[in-house]
Each structure stands twice: as structure tokens, then as C-alpha cells.
Structure 1
Amino acid sequence: MVQSVQRAVRVLRELAAGGPRLGVTELAERVGVAKPTVHALLRTLEGEGLVVQDAETGRYQLGPGLLMLGNAYLDTQELRARSLSWADTLANRADEAVWVAVLTGDHVFVVHHAFRPEGVVQILEVGASIPWSTCALGKAIVAFLPPEQRKELLEGELPALTGSSITDAAALARQLEEIGRTGHALENQESALGDAGIAAPVFDRSGIAGAIGVIGPVERVLDDAVRQDHVVAVREVARQISRELGAGRSGAAGRTR
């Protein structure tokens, strides 16, 4: 790896995770390098529009250049492009919000969010990053990864975002095996209190591409009267997207392993 690039990325990640603004001293301590080095990195990043400095406090925050890069990524993300109309179809059918996500490291990254059809105030969650083990989307993806990748994630950090988050690797492994058999994953208040999700994996020509799922209040999404309808709808839409991505019938969502 190129050390200077790696350090610049770590600075950006600290700014993303550490709050609205951080100073040079704080960043140097977090990244573990000398203040002059961090200052040089910040000046370079500022010149490229990736960070900006507050004129009054001298602290730094993420800049608009990152948004441009993020939008460029979304514009070229094939799963997102293929799922736009299908996500709307699923949102209307389930009467719930729909998220499409991909796996990045040990988190899932939301690349598309179709709002619930009902005209209520909703927050766009595109760009949200969630630990894979705490959401249906993440578990739907990891269940279909090659065994060595799945093992690595199970041996990694399993954070507790709520009291319902599953932090036991053995329990998660059993859950992933069940997801592999059924072709869908459930989440019950594991990433946010009051929220639940049902997701299914999406495949492309080379394997697992991501996942799509319905997200909403637990009392609606997991209600006994509609839960199975949601499962069927999510799996059907995931299968259709998989076919459009070239997975074919043998690689479509809901396959058994």
C-alpha cells in the first residue's frame, strides 16, 4: 500500500466518524501520526475539495468533493441502476420503504432507498452504513458469500447497536445457515429500536451482488398477518433483479445451497 494514501483515507474516515469537526491535534492522535504530517494531508485534501476548514475554529470537516465522488459511484453502480424500478414496485406492493445495499468491508452500504408510498415525512437513507450483522440486508448477503469470507466476518467485530443485536458468532452462523436454506433474512430491532427488516440476496454473473429488503416499524413488517407476504414479495423482486444482472435461474435469489 502507498502509506500517504492510506493515511489520507484514515483522516477522511476519522472525520466521517468523529463528529462534525475535528482539529489537527485530535486527528493526529486518532490516526497515530505526527501533527505536521496530518496538517500536510489536510491541506492537500482541502485543495481537492475533500475537506474544508472552519474559518473561526480552524477545525476540519468533510468537503463537497466527497459528495461528487459518491454520486459518481451511485451513478455507475449496476445493482442500483437495475433495482430502481423494482424497488418502487416492491415498495408499492409491501407498502413499506425499500432499501438496496451492497457489502463494503464489514458494513452494508445503502445504494438506493425507495420511500414508503404513504405520504409521511421520511429521511433518505442512501449512503447509510450499517454493521452487516445487525441488519437483514447484511445477513442476506453474508449468508451467500464463499465460506472463507463468511468465516472471516463471523470472526470479526460483531457490534451491539441495540439490546437485540446478535453478538454471538455461533448464533449468527446458525442464522446464516438458515438464511442459506430459505433465501431470506429477518431483522428484529437489531440495528434500531422499533425497526425491522426482511431482505433477500441479489446475484449477478459472478455471485452475490447485494441485497434488497423492506424496512419499517416492527409492528408492521413482522406482523403475522403480512410477514409471509413480505417474504414472498422480497424474494420475487430479488429474483427478478438477479436475472437482469445476468445471474440466470440457477443463481437467482432464494436458491438453496
Structure 2
Amino acid sequence: MLDQDSNGVPIRAVSRAIAVLQAINRAGSANMTTIAQLSGVPYPTACRLVETLIHEGMVERETGRKYYRPAALVQTLSHGFQGYSRWVSGARPHLEALTREILWPVSFVTRVGHAMVVRDSTHSLTSLTFNHYHPGFSLPILTCASGLVYLSFAPPEERQILIDGLKLAEGIDREALVMFENDYLPQKIRSDGFAIHVRNPHTLNPGKTSSISVPLFDGELLAGTLTLVFFSTAMRPGDAARQFFASLSRTARAIEDSWGRTPVAANG
């Protein structure tokens, strides 16, 4: 049984510490103000949590300036975790082919808790990107196209569990959460077959990129999403949908077919 306080609510200090560590990981290196903003944790609390993470060896302060970055010990958090090698290896050639076709970078993204995590991307294969997003980069589930798609196509029971957890979280998009609670947004996204998020706020260049995403299934299992990122100033959301949806859908089906031809036992 998970440790909870007497009211059955997850321990806030643990949730905040995780949010701070994820914010530092997403940024790569950040000052305390940025860490507090990205994590949605009050500045004084963020300071105490960063000092604790430094003490535990998970975070280190950069020499000569008050910036903080993940330390090598943070890698121990993934020990024992079964990865996504089967999914990644099956998707990779299709990701590359799609980027060659449309030039914009695309990513295979999965859910971990209340975050969407990049498993593979083609940002390094195109000049149409501000940054290279490596495997492990995470985004809050309500503030990215991949998260909106995942929540919309997830089984109702899983979606409700995620929504209930998000209600207890800090710094989330409450308006989006309400639209998921009344099922308006997921119905629309399922009907459209995709989601678009304009001016993504939690990227390495906040507000400068937008994204469009479609679901990926391994059989009946919702495995994750296929997500394309484009410059916010390059095109309007409707134009992006008309230009990219067909290619994304075709590539998603090709990826799913490749997974169907690969034995599940190969997943490592």
C-alpha cells in the first residue's frame, strides 16, 4: 500500500520533490527561480527541496554560478526499470522516414505517471528545431499534445485515475482538467483523431513551439503517441492539422504494424 497521510492524500512533500527533480531534469540546468516556475512549487519550498536533493546526491550546483543540474546518481532511479526497446526499435525507421518527408522533428512519447516522456525523437536529424530532445525529457501531461491525446484515448478507468490524481497536483492547467472531467475535450480529440497544443509552455524554449499528436497502439494497449513539433510562428493550428494529420496517421499505422510483427518477448 502506498504511504499516504491520515486523509488518504499523497504526501505533498514527496510530490513536490519529484516535481522539482523533474523540472531540473527537463531544463538540464536552471536557476532557482526557473526551477520553482517549472515545478509549480513555491520558491522557498523549492530552495529547501533542491538543497535536500543536493544532500542526497541527485542534484549538483554548477561551479561559479547558482545553477543546478542533475547529478550522476539520478541514474540510479531507473535501475530495475524495464525499458521500451521493442517499441523504440520498431518505431525508429518510421520516425526517420517521416522527418525526411515533412522535415519537422517527430517523437515517440509514452506516459509515466502524470508526465509524458520522450522515448525517441528525430530532432537531431533536422534543422527545423530549436533544441535536441533526448530520451527521458518529460512534459506535464495536460500541457502538451501528446498528453492530451493520451488522456483522450486511454481506457475510461485509467483516465479517471489520472484525473483524480491531477486534481491533487499543483501548478496544473485547471481549465483543461475541467474539460476532461466533463468529457468534452476527450470526445473532440477522439473524433478528430489528433490533438494540437499551441505554444508549449514547458519546453526548452517555452512558447516558441506547438505540437500535434496522434495515438499509438500495440494491439489493444495504448502504448503512447506520435508527436510532431513545429515553430509556433510557422503556421496556424488548423493549417498544421490539414498538412500533417494524414502523414502522422499513416506513420502511426506503419509503426503499429511493425510492433505487431515483433514478438513481445523481445521487449527489453
Percent identity of equivalent pairs: 17
- SS of 1:143's equivalent? helix
Q: Point out the more displaced range, 9-18 or 134-143.
A: 9-18
Quick one: structure 1 residues 190 and 151, their matched pair in 2 at CA, closer, same or farther if it must change by over 3 Å? Answer: farther
Deviation at 1:187, TM superposition (A): 1.2
Could you tell me how far apart the structure 1 residues matched to 2:138 and 2:129 are?
A: 21
Deviation string for 1:131-159 (max 9, x for gaps)?
A: 11111111111212110221232342477
Displacement of 1:70 in angstroms is 5.8
C-alpha distance 246-223 of structure 1, shift in aligned 2 (>3 A) = same
Residue from 132, 135, 155 that aligns with 2:141: 132
Tell me, yes or no, if structure 1 residue 178 matches structure 2 residue 192.
no
Whole-angstrom distance in 1 between the partners of 2:222 and 2:207: 29
| 2:250 maps to 1:236 | yes
Structure 2 length as normaliser, TM-score? 0.65
Q: 2:121 aligns with which of 94, 99, 113?
A: 113
The one-letter code of the counterpart of 1:146 is P
Which residue of 103, 106, 120 corresponds with 1:98?
106
CA distance in 1, matches of 2:170, 2:102: 30
Residue 89 (1) aligns with residue 97 (2): yes
Instruction: Provide the C-alpha distance between the structure 1 equivalents of 2:222 and 2:96, rounded to a whole number of angstroms.
Output: 22
Please give the secondary structure, in 2, of the residue aligned with 1:123. Answer: coil
Q: Contact 2:105–2:129 at 8 Å: present in 1 too?
A: no
Match of 1:236, as an amino acid? R
Distance in 2 separating the partners of 1:159 and 1:189:
21
Q: Distance in 2 between matches of 1:121 and 1:61?
A: 23
Please tell me the residue identity of whatever aligns with 2:159. Answer: R
> Mapping of 1:59-70 within 5 angstroms?
62-67=70-75
**Higher RCO structure (Cα 8 Å, ≥6 apart):** 2
Conserved? CA contact 2:104–2:128, under 8 Å? no
- Partner of residue 226, structure 2: 212
- Greater gyration radius: 1
The alignment covers a number of residue pairs equal to 229
What is the CA distance between 1:202 and its match in structure 2? 0.7
Question: Quick one: distance in 2 between partners of 1:152 and 1:247?
Answer: 32
1:115, distance to aligned residue in structure 2 (A): 2.1
- Opposite residue 104 of structure 1, the aligned amino acid is V
Encode CA deviations 1:133-191: one digit per residue, 9 max, x unaligned. 11111111121211022123234247768xxx672434243121122223211111243
Superposition deviation, residue 30 in structure 1: 4.3
What amino acid maps onto 1:187 in structure 2? H
RMSD (Å), alpha carbons: 4.4
Q: 1:169 to 1:16 in 2, by over 3 A?
A: closer
The residue correspondences of 1:1-257 to structure 2 (distance < 5 A) are 14-17=20-23, 30=49, 62-67=70-75, 76-115=84-123, 118-119=126-127, 122-126=130-134, 127-155=136-164, 156-157=166-167, 167-172=175-180, 173-191=183-201, 192-220=206-234, 222=236, 224-225=238-239, 227-246=241-260
Gap regions ≥5 residues in structure 1: 249-257
Runs of at least 5 residues in structure 2 that lack an aligned partner in the other structure: 4-10, 25-29, 33-44, 263-268
State whether residues 16 and 62 of structure 1, in contact with CA within 8 Å, keep that contact through their aligned partners in structure 2.
Answer: no
Q: Which amino acid aligns with 1:94?
A: I
More off after superposition, 107-116 vs 65-74? 65-74
User: Does the aligned pair in 2 maintain the 1:94–1:214 contact within 8 Å?
Assistant: no
